[in-house]
Chains A and B, each alone.
Chain A
Amino acid sequence: MSLVETRALGVSIGRNRILDHVDFAIEPGEIVTVVGPNGSGKSTLLRALIGAVTPSEGEVVRAPGLRIGYVPQRLHIDPTLPITVGRFLSLPRRHSAPDVRAALEAAGLPDLGGRQMGDLSGGQFQRVLLARALMEKPDLLILDEATQGLDQPGSAAFYRRIEEVRQEMGCAVLMVSHELHVVMSASDRVICLNGHVCCEGQPEHVAQAEAYRALFGSGTQGALALYRHDHDHDHDHAGCAGGHDPHAHGHEKEHQYGATR
């Protein structure tokens, strides 16, 4: 069965309809990315999945005993609240000192256990948030634009770590990202959201979809191409320029699937 599933999920906040009729499911071990413009309901969808938002229509079904590791977009720690990195990792459940040390080591931050959370750099802070989410050995890891505020190398390193995590722990990963190249390289499935699900499928499929292009324009295609293999690069531009040529589309798709497999 799916780890989490939404059935005809609708969320309204005040008079604003944020999500409309969203059917979504994520299977064990899958990496799924949600893309969409600002205000498209990406964060609301994630918050509905963890139960922080009550659906106004439809339902959210979680597998019984599902353990979720959640990495928020940002976490503001009030300066009046003193908390060390080691202590933070022991929330909401306490863990033994060796477990905390091991988690810090896996996150590449072995010496920071006694440091105050407020004294960490942006990259270190995000790694600690991820490490905390992994302490519970989650079945599903949910990341809400977790690399916001990190520079390019920082976020690249962060996503490499996510890949490692999936390989080591076998958990499913659901993330929201603005960084479309990440979508292309790391996801099994992409969901394009704009209040409702515009389109979904394998990354290459979504990149070609009309709905996706309508949202992001063809300009992003060029940006995406930068992160692809060279021979895809040309095709991509060709596909973009002659977007209505069905042959070009089909041809391009074959090549891309070949490249990713």
Chain B
Amino acid sequence: MIGALMDDFLIRAALAGLGVALAAAPLGCFVVWRRMAYFGDATAHASILGVALALAFGMSIFAGALVVALVMAMAVSTLSGRGVAMDTLLGVLAHSALAFGLVAVSFLQGVRIDLMGYLFGDILAVGKADLAVIWGGAVLVVGLLAWRWQALLTATLSPDLAQASGIDPRREQLGLTLALAVVVAVAIKVVGVLLIAAMLIIPAAAARPLAGTPERMAAVAVGLAALAALAGVEGSFVLDTPTGPTIVCVAALIFALTSGAAALGRAVARR
């Protein structure tokens, strides 16, 4: 019975969701800790321009999205140190990149594009090659985070503390920027450009009340993100809803649950 339910494409969808959860959740912790939520949004929105370019030049969507996301992330990273008001800058860049991307896509002729598929993801259409790319990217990102973990954490707490210990905070920031571009590129198929930032931030935020150390928060975030991915794929199949948004809905419900429980716990402790 379960075998009948879990058709091949559903298994692939579940695996794709798990791959994105594995990479996005721990990276999302850094995005939350460093208050880079808008940064994630800008990078993700810009990647639609990459999709358009990739389609125009017959490149792989993944490569196109990766390159544009990388350019965007580096641009924001560079500009951020120059005294420009960050939220304004990111607001301008994020939405204009999205708009230019959408306009660029409309110029493409002869290619029938399901724009919705890139905006909200098309996880049920994930093929074996897509799975390889998603898991390859996920392993790369998790490997990078594990390798630089101590330095990243120190630089996140205080760039000066890191510098005094011989860690270059700008280099660590660059590593995070690279990881962000990779996650954006691999997550387009799964949740689409509009909801990638949700997969970064919601699991991390949901894990916060359950964790006393950074490591635990990252681990719990991975678990919650995986749960959201699996329940979202299953739920979208049963309810016949779009899969990407369903995954994000489940994550949001988990967030409401853990935050609510934490608030309740504090109220009880105060009595």
Contacts and interface: CB of A to CB of B under 8 A. Distances in A.
Contact of B160 (A14, A50, A80, A92): A50
Given A78-B35, A80-B208, A52 B165 contact: no
Given A82-B213, A91-B150, A68 B157 contact: no
Interface in B208-256: 208, 211-214, 216-217
A163 B155 CA distance: 29
Contacts of B60: none
Contact of A82 (B154, B157, B163, B214): B214
Given A82-B208, A92-B151, A52 B157 contact: no
Contacts of A83: 157, 213-214
Contact of A78 (B33, B83, B205, B211): B33
Contact of B205 (A70, A80, A116): A80
Given A82-B214, A92-B154, A94-B150, A70 B160 contact: yes
Interface string B185-227: 0000000000000000000110010011110110000000000
B162 interface: yes
A54 to B, nearest CB: 11
A119 to B, nearest CB: 11
A178 interface: no
Contacts of A116: 212
A82 B212 contact: yes
B32 interface: yes
Categorize the interface residue count of chain B.
20 to 34
A70 B158 CA distance: 11
Interface in A45-85: 47, 50-52, 68-70, 72, 75, 77-78, 80-84
Dominant secondary structure at the B interface: helix
Contacts of A82: 208, 211-214, 216-217
B214 A75 contact: no
A84 B217 CA distance: 12
Contacts of A77: 157
Contacts of A244: none
A232 interface: no
A247 interface: no
B142 interface: no
A70 B164 contact: yes
Contacts of A104: none
A51 B217 CA distance: 31
Contact of B164 (A69, A75, A93): A69
A73 to B, nearest CB: 9
A142 B161 CA distance: 11
Contact of A81 (B151, B157, B205): B157
Interface of B: 32-35, 83, 150-151, 153-154, 156-165, 167, 204-205, 208, 211-214, 216-217
Q: Which 7 A-B pairs have the closest CB atoms?
A: A70-B164, A92-B154, A50-B164, A52-B163, A81-B33, A92-B165, A91-B154
27 contacts: A14-B83, A50-B160, A50-B164, A52-B159, A52-B160, A52-B164, A68-B165, A70-B164, A72-B161, A75-B157, A75-B161, A78-B34, A78-B35, A80-B33, A81-B156, A81-B157, A81-B217, A82-B211, A82-B217, A83-B157, A83-B214, A84-B213, A88-B157, A91-B153, A92-B151, A92-B153, A142-B164
